[in-house]
Structure 1
Amino acid sequence: MLKWILVLLFIASALYVHFRGAVRHRWNRQLLDHSTFMAPINVLMYAFSRVPTTPFLDDPGRHFPELEPLRANWQNIREEARHLREQQHIKAASGYNDVGFNSFFRRGWKRFYLKWYDDAHPSAAELCPNTTALLRSIPSIKAAMFTELPPGSELRPHRDPYAGSLRLHLGLETPNDDECFISVDGQRYSWRDGQWTMFDETYIHFARNDTEENRIILFCDVERPMKFGWARALNRFIAKHMIAAGASPNMEGDKTGGFNRAFKYFYAFRLKAKALRERNKALYYGLKYALVAGVVALIVWI
């Protein structure tokens, strides 16, 4: 009986995640999306969140007053970001060691990690001392990076897997143009220098830069405030033991998390699967859904 209750709870959570927004993936994509597997935990995060669970949070400073020093010092932060760009340190991963953002690099997106669920990357502490000092003074910021979206580049629609944080974007060097924007659950926001926005990255979102100018922002994952101590402890446990394993290096000497150390082996398998899809789509999708059915059957049998 307990097994069937857990199965039904999982199904109900997955359906809730799928239907909670106005924008949804197709069923065949949602079935294998990482947000489906994280659905029961994410539903807990939504249920016990101390801040609204809307796509965008109006006025981040009201909900997170500790973040105000970032906005107050945005020009100093911008100078360090510009220096990094001039030195070509804001870039795509040099290998298959950034599982969380690997697909983004193919369409022009670039990044430089400042911290990832830990203290600053050594490269960031050396090259961006002022920004990393600011980040260190705000414990609720769990991850941060500079991200670049060059002219003509884009991020395809996706949702992030874990609802334990909220995403902060602070405009540093932007086109200041509505043709450079992010859309979260169908709602658009266009970046502006010195202005910020906060959104729930577990809604489907995408970004485009259809201008002739570059876009650089400070991108932060901020811990979601929870109503109860046990929910806060669960959130921090998952962040420490799962999300932190996604650490990716900027350069030699930076930490690479366990997920990213294993990613190169997974990606080799993925390349073979893509090759199979090109040769025989029917066989590829038949094996794909047979695998899903096998996992479901195993769960039910156990």
Structure 2
Amino acid sequence: MRQKSGEHGDRAAPRVPDLNVISGAPAPGAPLAQEGNRPWQIRLGKHLRGPVDRLIARFSLVSNDPVLDVRGFAWTAMLRDHWQTIRDEAVAVALHGAAAPSLATISPDHRAIAEVDKWRSFFLWGYGFPIADNLARCPETQRLVERIPGLNSAFFSILAPGTHIPDHRGVTKGLITCHLGLIVPQDGDVRMRVGDRIVRWAEGETLVFDDTYQHEVWNETSGTRVVLLIQFARPLRQPGKAIADFFLGFVRRSAFVQEARSNIDKWNAAIRRLDA
């Protein structure tokens, strides 16, 4: 059954932890951190990813186009078949109170593109690391997502009404992104540009794309858009796979990922204290 946009909002404003205490992010309106102040691993990775991505693309077993054919990834049918079950768990946990923090809170490197409270995320996996507290609350989604080959990340991505996510790009060509539409408002336009392609979501449908192309998102509706966002390993032949695995291992060990993992744990702990 199609949900009416906006009907999942909480009736009372939830108590939330202090975003800045948890993430170390500057207060809203404060200047953003300069690139030179970020950990050296993050700065080095950003310089390396262009040449590494070009190498990976040479050995890809699937298209390098901005948007890929979902029929090339058989497991996406499993998500489409069970989308309502996944949606129901997302509504029950990720849209309840303050369970899903803003992406800017979890990852300060996203602060330049993610307005506080506009783009929220409820992580199940992040760069190969399971988020045990959140998985326990979504057992059916966990069961389905664990079957995805090369799973890297999985989370409910929640976009508030009137949000524009500016032009940005992903971390590595070694990963491909899949969105499963869960709640898509119908009273306006909610869309994404990937490279030179404009795409739109539909409830119960999957969209597969390469997020290393510059992309941006608009939610020009009065409702909240929710998708299950999956990142998975790009099918590669050697030596491309070895190159992609090495770079991804570098990213997983970096402050970019470890800082985000720590912030998720702090957020969940703070929520438990508020609910006690």
Deviation at 1:145, TM superposition (A): 0.7
Paired residue for 2:54?
43
Runs of 4 or more, structure 1, over 6 Å off, are none
For 1:100 and 1:182, the matched residues in 2 are separated by: 21
2:113–2:168 Cα contact (<8 Å) kept = no
Q: Counterparts of 1:254-273 in structure 2 under 5 Å?
A: none
Deviation at 1:34, TM superposition (A): 6.7
Q: Secondary structure at the match of 2:134?
A: helix
For 1:137 and 1:214, the matched residues in 2 are separated by: 28
Paired residue for 1:172?
182
1:124–1:132 Cα contact (<8 Å) kept = no
Deviation at 1:164, TM superposition (A): 0.7
Deviation at 1:94, TM superposition (A): 8.2
Indicate how the Cα distance of structure 1 residues 135 and 157 shifts in structure 2: closer, same or farther if over 3 A, else same: same
User: RMSD of the alignment, in Å?
Assistant: 2.6
Q: Secondary structure at the match of 2:240?
A: helix
- Return the structure number with greater strand share: 2
Residues 85-124 of structure 1 show CA distances to partners (whole Å, capped at 9, x for unaligned) of: 02331221585x5144333432611111110132420122
Alignment counterpart, residue 76 of structure 1, candidates 73, 85, 90 = 85
Deviation at 1:187, TM superposition (A): 1.3
**AA aligned opposite 1:44:** L
1:35–1:162 Cα contact (<8 Å) kept = no
2:104–2:115 Cα contact (<8 Å) kept = no
Q: Counterparts of 1:234-249 in structure 2 under 5 Å?
A: 234-243=243-252, 245=254, 246-247=257-258, 248-249=260-261
For 1:119 and 1:33, the matched residues in 2 are separated by: 22
Q: Counterparts of 1:102-181 in structure 2 under 5 Å?
A: 102-106=111-115, 108-176=118-186, 179-181=189-191
Aligned-residue sequence identity (percent) comes to 26
Deviation at 1:176, TM superposition (A): 4.0
Q: Secondary structure at the match of 2:75?
A: helix
Indicate how the Cα distance of structure 1 residues 104 and 141 shifts in structure 2: closer, same or farther if over 3 A, else same: same
Higher-Rg structure is 1
Deviation at 1:133, TM superposition (A): 2.0
1:190 aligns with 2:200: yes
For 2:169 and 2:104, the matched residues in 1 are separated by: 24
Deviation at 1:244, TM superposition (A): 5.3
Q: Which has the higher contact order (CA 8 A, sep 6+)?
A: 2
Deviation at 1:241, TM superposition (A): 3.1
Indicate how the Cα distance of structure 1 residues 123 and 174 shifts in structure 2: closer, same or farther if over 3 A, else same: same
For 1:198 and 1:93, the matched residues in 2 are separated by: 21
2:104–2:111 Cα contact (<8 Å) kept = no
For 2:45 and 2:242, the matched residues in 1 are separated by: 22
The gaps in structure 1 that reach 5 residues or longer are: 1-31, 255-302
Q: Secondary structure at the match of 2:202?
A: coil
The gaps in structure 2 that reach 5 residues or longer are: 1-42, 269-276
Paired residue for 2:210?
200
- Return the structure number with greater helix share: 1
Indicate how the Cα distance of structure 1 residues 42 and 64 shifts in structure 2: closer, same or farther if over 3 A, else same: same
**AA aligned opposite 1:227:** R
**AA aligned opposite 2:48:** F
Q: Secondary structure at the match of 2:185?
A: coil
Indicate how the Cα distance of structure 1 residues 238 and 76 shifts in structure 2: closer, same or farther if over 3 A, else same: same
1:35–1:160 Cα contact (<8 Å) kept = no
For 1:214 and 1:138, the matched residues in 2 are separated by: 26
Residues 159-194 of structure 1 show CA distances to partners (whole Å, capped at 9, x for unaligned) of: 123111111111001114661011111311111111
For 2:127 and 2:135, the matched residues in 1 are separated by: 15
